[in-house]
């Protein structure tokens, strides 16, 4: 088990420590407090958070038909 500091978590998430604190307050990021002045995060929890918050872009299938393009002077039926 790898333990990370708040600064290390912020570096992994690409954000500032204030954002990490907000994620802690909202319960989105689990943390451990081994003593009153020490906060640690499990690296597996951070990786799980990254996986949950990843944006997935699905490619839309190409239509099986072609759109009609009007050409001036062309007869439309």
pLDDT digits (tens, 9 = 90+) for 16-70: 999 999 999 999 999 999 999 999 999 999 999 999 988 877 887 777 777 777 7
Q: Name the pTM for this structure.
A: 0.68
Look at the chain and report how many structural domains it folds into. Answer: 1
Residue 74 maps to a domain = no
Cα–Cα dist 54/68, whole Å: 38
Q: Which residue bears the tokens 């604190």?
A: 21
Tokens 């570096």, located at residue: 11
Q: Which of the four pLDDT bands, split at 50, 70 and 90, describes residue 1?
A: confident
Would residue 58 count as lying in a domain? Answer: no
| Domain hosting residue 27, numbered range | 3-53
| Contact between 20 and 29 (Cβ < 8 Å) | yes
Is residue 19, in this structure, part of any structural domain at all? Answer: yes
Residue 65 belongs to a domain: no
């Amino acid at each position: 088990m790898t333990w990370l500091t708040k600064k290390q978590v912020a570096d992994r998430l690409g954000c500032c420590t204030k954002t990490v604190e907000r994620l802690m307050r909202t319960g989105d990021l689990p943390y451990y407090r081994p003593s009153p002045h020490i906060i640690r995060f499990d690296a597996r929890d951070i990786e799980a958070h990254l996986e949950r918050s990843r944006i997935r872009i699905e490619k839309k299938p190409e239509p099986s038909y072609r759109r009609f393009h009007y050409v001036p002077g062309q007869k439309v039926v």
